[in-house]
Structure 1
Amino acid sequence: MARRSRPRKKLDLTPREISIDSLAHDGRGVGRGEDGKVVFVDFALPGERVMYVPVMNRKSYLFGTTLEVLEPSEHRIEPKCPVFGQCGGCVLQHLETHMQIQYKQQALLENFKKIGNVQPESLLEPMVGAHWGYRRRARLGAKFVPKKGGMIVGFRERNSSYIQPTEQCEVLYPEVSALLPILRATLEQVSCNDKLPQVEISVADNATVMVLRHLEPLLQQDLEILTQFAKQHDVQLFLQPGNLKSVHPLYPAAPEALYYDFPAFDIRVEFLPTDFIQVNGSINEQLVVRAVELLDVQDSDRVLDLFCGVGNFTLPLARRAGQVIGVEGDQALVNRAHHNRELNKLENVDFHFGDLFKEDMTSESHGGWLDQTFDKILLDPPRSGAAEMIKRIPQLNPSKVVYVSCGPATLARDAGVMVNEHGYRMTQAGVIDMFPHTAHVESIAVFEK
């Protein structure tokens, strides 16, 4: 006989008070209720006493949202964005920017201690830049909603799949933010405006590009409307009727190649509209300079760059090292990296395809680099980290490793292996403020034999 599930108790929506002790990894304030249960409260800061209402109850914790701040933190400020709290893009605009950095640094150190059982010998100065108008890349949702007045364009709402209508965005490049209401009005004129789910935006050093996803064929009149928008606002406009391979230019018909430069290395990196590039251009430029300095690259060094993408770190490294090998798991990005090598006339760098998450990866299938040793290694993995490659560090035998991370928990896990199993020292670590006003913690760590 099948067991009947116990009916869940109805959520008690009675407002209640709580004192906030700390911030969670997602930017929520954390406190304990009168019953001792941990409570995560949206838009509450450490040191505050707030009135909140529960929104979700679980066995060992509860989620709530702030109704009123009874005793504000001295570090609370007025959010700049008019839709802060509804839009899911930023969660920390109510906290002073220098305290955001301090919170992220604390989160990094706590992860090192709790997950990796390691601590850096010294802290690097936080890498910071502009707090507003920094974002050069974004994926915006679009939807035709008659009840909300027609076409809406924006980021997703906080804790929701719905789209928050956005007429301006304080963290996007100003020229992109200014286009949002015009873009919305343009998409509303398209015949299949209820079949336009997404617009992807990238800003290169030489152009602004948009990729419009459409689920139904566009009519000639639609193409004319979109072309007029692109011409008038100096935008490269691409269409995406299917998967990534279907992306093609609408205007101009033969667009100029997109690129960003590294003046310190005399390097130009070209990329396609759908390629991954770092969201924060000025921080990325700082980061590459810092990473090369921390690796202490000499002209006789052999350097391995893992998760190399289009060559963001690899190409600048090649200006300093004797030989550099970049490895990436996306063949399209490997092809682009080869192109960038030729563009910059570099003869001491090569790129290979390699599934860096594969446990049984063999040297024969990945160009032979796994059988080689290297003086220095740089890693820049996705949020899931580099567990399989960290296992192989001893056979690659570098004297120094620089690890750039977008996930403090996986960095801490991998750091624990480097220090406690492979015998490296974590000599330095610090945070990178790649995403101001969000809870994302980007960081960099240095390991030495």
Structure 2
Amino acid sequence: MAMLGKRRPPRPASGHSGLAGTPGGKTRHAATGDTSPMVIERLAHDGRGVAHSANGKTVFVDKALPGEQVEVAIHLTRKRFDEAHIKSLLTTSELRVKPPCPHFGHCGGCDLQHLSVDAQRDHKREVVRDLFSRQGITLSEIGSIQGSDQGYRRRARLGVKVDSQGTTRLGFRAAHSHRLVDIERCPVLVDPLQRLLTPLRELLGTLEAPRQVGHIELLATATAQVVLVRQLKEHTGDAERWQAFAQQQGVALGTWLGRETPTLHWHGAAPALEESLTVTGQPPLSLSFAPGDFLQVNAPVNQQMVAQVIQWLAPKPGQKLLDLFAGIGNFSLPIAAAGAEVYAVEGNPAMVARIAINAKRNQLMVSGQQADLNSAASVKELLTVHGGSDALVLDPPRSGAEVICQALAHHPVPRVVYISCDPATLARDAAHLVHAGYRVKQVAVADMFLHTAHMETLMLFEYGD
């Protein structure tokens, strides 16, 4: 019982509304009453509109487009800028389109569906150009590798949550929030995964222990549709329901069981998970992978990226190529099939084994090893041993390949192809290469993540004059 005259302990900050504190010194406020019109000047790198208030303070406005006049409500303030959302759209940009998804604006998965596809591509090229300009590098032409704007995503992770009323929700997180948005359909998912959403929701409503389901991963390949359930604690009755669902829907079912160190159990035979890649003039390649291995979400665009890299490098028999962050062999094997001698390096020993298996099954000679590619000593040794390589392929994670690009100043390789999912770290690393004597020869932005502010960028560098 609460005591009179004693202050009630404050509730933990939720981050969703009210005066919740947020990381980084931010202060979150309820919507303000300030409705002074603002004109959106440009798009920020993350796709938000940029405006300035009457007192000159920068304001980032969700889902606002250049040229639009808007009245906004501030929902987050910081010392140097505010964050806001549109309260009233006074004028509309010709670039604005009707979002294809009914959940747009609530789901945090896509943030650019209100912008036309061509404008999205233009925006991403300008982001790359601006980031390089900040590093003192001027880019001229930036190419575009284009894909479909719907039905392109072949893997997804869906959250599962039981609310206070006992209703089980299935969907994606809201932007900058832990709140789960219930999803009925997702236009960017490939059709086989799209069709699973309703049956999955219906199944979750029948489970005896839905709170023991952490999340659900969906994966579609050319030969299989896979449902992976993160099961926190085993429940025999629910396991039988999942197996019946898998049989009815014709999907492969796996369960990650346990809280701390979950182990994967297949219900029935484990599916043959394979990635198919085609190299002009060669039989199709088949690359096996396992759940948890890195796999690009957009298969057609990935195929185009592989083809672009091969076109840039034009590998020939006898040429030597070093592939760092090689993954399952996404670039190593097609380049080897085109004739080059490939040496593949990965930080994860399981991936080194996977590349060896994939090389053998495709009758290709690809050598490799495990190495810490963030270690200056390891990278120096690699570049010293393989100093005679004709080309180098880099496909690092978002953190980039700074150690490698710094080392190339002392151990240059004639040509470098860099595939990046973060243009900021790409620009940083490119500055190291240019300072070391490399020249930018080709740049292309790929439609790997249409309708989102994320992008995939490919670059070709050549050393010397």
Superposition TM-score tier, normalisation by shorter sequence: over 0.9
Following superposition, the deviation at residue 339 of structure 1 comes to 1.1
Instruction: Give 1:236's aligned residue.
Output: 252
| Aligned AA (1:118) | I
Identity, % of aligned positions: 37
Task: Kindly tell me the number of residue pairs found equivalent between the two proteins.
Answer: 433
What is the rounded CA distance, in whole Å, between the counterparts of 1:411 and 1:363 in structure 2? 20
Does structure 2 conserve the Cα–Cα contact (< 8 Å) formed by 1:151 and 1:185? no
Of residues 209, 212, 217 in structure 2, which corresponds to 1:192?
209
Of residues 169, 182, 195 in structure 2, which corresponds to 1:152?
169
Structure 1 counterpart SS, 2:343? strand
Task: Give the 3 Å change call, closer, same or farther, for CA 245–97 of structure 1 in structure 2.
Answer: same
Higher RCO (C-alpha under 8 Å, 6+ residues apart): 1
Instruction: Give 1:87's aligned residue.
Output: 107
Task: Give the 3 Å change call, closer, same or farther, for CA 173–132 of structure 1 in structure 2.
Answer: same
Does structure 2 conserve the Cα–Cα contact (< 8 Å) formed by 1:310 and 1:337? yes
Task: Give the 3 Å change call, closer, same or farther, for CA 88–12 of structure 1 in structure 2.
Answer: closer
Following superposition, the deviation at residue 199 of structure 1 comes to 0.8
Of residues 393, 400, 403 in structure 2, which corresponds to 1:385?
400
> RMSD of aligned C-alpha atoms?
2.0
What is the rounded CA distance, in whole Å, between the counterparts of 1:388 and 1:10 in structure 2? 41
Instruction: Give 1:430's aligned residue.
Output: 444
What is the rounded CA distance, in whole Å, between the counterparts of 2:137 and 2:208 in structure 1? 58
Of residues 309, 326, 336 in structure 2, which corresponds to 1:291?
309
5+ residue gaps in structure 2? 1-24
Structure 1 counterpart SS, 2:431? helix
Does structure 2 conserve the Cα–Cα contact (< 8 Å) formed by 1:29 and 1:41? yes
Deviates further, 255-264 or 397-406: 255-264
Task: Give the 3 Å change call, closer, same or farther, for CA 419–226 of structure 1 in structure 2.
Answer: same
What is the rounded CA distance, in whole Å, between the counterparts of 1:183 and 1:308 in structure 2? 35
Task: Give the 3 Å change call, closer, same or farther, for CA 244–305 of structure 1 in structure 2.
Answer: farther
Task: Give the 3 Å change call, closer, same or farther, for CA 401–244 of structure 1 in structure 2.
Answer: farther
Following superposition, the deviation at residue 273 of structure 1 comes to 2.2
| Aligned AA (1:188) | G
Following superposition, the deviation at residue 256 of structure 1 comes to 2.9
Does structure 2 conserve the Cα–Cα contact (< 8 Å) formed by 1:108 and 1:441? no
Instruction: Give 1:3's aligned residue.
Output: none
Following superposition, the deviation at residue 442 of structure 1 comes to 1.4
Residues 182-216 of structure 1: CA distance to partner in whole angstroms, max 9, x if unpaired? 11221232222012111111111100112110111
Residues 105-149 of structure 1: CA distance to partner in whole angstroms, max 9, x if unpaired? 0000000011x21123x42420011100100011111111243x6
Task: Give the 3 Å change call, closer, same or farther, for CA 282–12 of structure 1 in structure 2.
Answer: closer
Of residues 162, 166, 171 in structure 1, which corresponds to 2:179?
162
Instruction: Give 1:312's aligned residue.
Output: 330
Does structure 1 conserve the Cα–Cα contact (< 8 Å) formed by 2:28 and 2:75? no
Following superposition, the deviation at residue 52 of structure 1 comes to 1.2
Structure 1 counterpart SS, 2:417? strand
What is the rounded CA distance, in whole Å, between the counterparts of 2:244 and 2:228 in structure 1? 15
Instruction: Give 2:137's aligned residue.
Output: 118
Structure 1 counterpart SS, 2:144? coil
Does structure 2 conserve the Cα–Cα contact (< 8 Å) formed by 1:209 and 1:273? no
Deviates further, 354-363 or 438-447: 354-363
| Aligned AA (2:427) | A
Task: Give the 3 Å change call, closer, same or farther, for CA 341–395 of structure 1 in structure 2.
Answer: farther
Task: Give the 3 Å change call, closer, same or farther, for CA 172–11 of structure 1 in structure 2.
Answer: closer
5+ residue gaps in structure 1? 1-5
What is the rounded CA distance, in whole Å, between the counterparts of 1:32 and 1:45 in structure 2? 14
Following superposition, the deviation at residue 218 of structure 1 comes to 1.9
Structure 2 counterpart SS, 1:123? coil
Instruction: Give 1:205's aligned residue.
Output: 222
Alignment partner of 1:354 is 2:374 = no
What is the rounded CA distance, in whole Å, between the counterparts of 1:7 and 1:72 in structure 2? 30
Task: Give the 3 Å change call, closer, same or farther, for CA 13–362 of structure 1 in structure 2.
Answer: closer
What is the rounded CA distance, in whole Å, between the counterparts of 2:173 and 2:286 in structure 1? 33
Of residues 38, 45, 64 in structure 2, which corresponds to 1:44?
64
What is the rounded CA distance, in whole Å, between the counterparts of 2:413 and 2:238 in structure 1? 56
* TM-score after normalising by structure 2: 0.89
Following superposition, the deviation at residue 245 of structure 1 comes to 6.1
Of residues 231, 234, 238 in structure 2, which corresponds to 1:222?
238
What is the rounded CA distance, in whole Å, between the counterparts of 1:48 and 1:69 in structure 2? 7
Deviates further, 330-339 or 303-312: 330-339
Task: Give the 3 Å change call, closer, same or farther, for CA 363–403 of structure 1 in structure 2.
Answer: closer
What is the rounded CA distance, in whole Å, between the counterparts of 1:259 and 1:25 in structure 2? 35
Following superposition, the deviation at residue 101 of structure 1 comes to 0.1
| Aligned AA (1:25) | H
What is the rounded CA distance, in whole Å, between the counterparts of 1:187 and 1:230 in structure 2? 13
Residues 333-389 of structure 1: CA distance to partner in whole angstroms, max 9, x if unpaired? 222111111111112x1121111112332777xxx6652211100101111110011
Runs of 4+ in 1 over 4 A off after TM superposition: 6-12
Task: Give the 3 Å change call, closer, same or farther, for CA 164–11 of structure 1 in structure 2.
Answer: closer
Instruction: Give 1:260's aligned residue.
Output: 275
| Aligned AA (1:230) | A
What is the rounded CA distance, in whole Å, between the counterparts of 2:197 and 2:231 in structure 1? 18
Q: Matches of residues 316-331 of structure 1 in structure 2 within 5 Å?
A: 316-331=334-349
